[in-house]
Amino acid sequence: MHTLFISDLHLSPARPDITQCFTHFMRTEARDADALYVLGDLFDFWIGDDDPTPFAQQIKAEFQQLTAAGVACFFVHGNRDFLIGQRFAKETGIVLLAQETVIHLYGTPVVILHGDTLCTE
């Protein structure tokens, strides 16, 4: 088993090609992982956890299915999806993490964060 990381997918209804690749990934490679870490900007924009659009529901369903299959999913906010909150986490089974969280990956401490936090200007 292994741990996977994804970042900056900028999913959007305007880019169905990227969404299709994400869906394929979630249903194949991600199913074989111990854990999936999303390091921000999963969405190109996120208006709130109460977004009723079919697109938002589709992405939520992918995480629901993955966590139901036993894959632990963790999420660090990016600058485009900072409004993802506890409701999204509860509905999908993901765990929200703070910026600059230290995890232990195969015995080694690793700092995970969204890259935008490194921009100083």
CATH number of the domain that 105 lies in?
Answer: 3.60.21.10
Work out how many domains the chain is built from and give that number: 1
The H or E element containing residue 21 is helix 16-27
* Domain extent at residue 101: 3-118
| Integer Cα distance of 79 and 16 in angstroms | 21
Express each pLDDT in 23-81 by its tens digit: 999 999 999 999 999 988 888 877 766 778 899 899 999 999 999 999 999 999 887 77
Express each pLDDT in 3-26 by its tens digit: 999 999 999 999 999 999 999 999
Q: Considering the entire predicted model, what is its pTM? A: 0.90
Residue 10: partners with Cβ closer than 8 Å, 6 or more residues away: 18, 41, 43, 44, 80
More confidently predicted of 78 and 91: 91
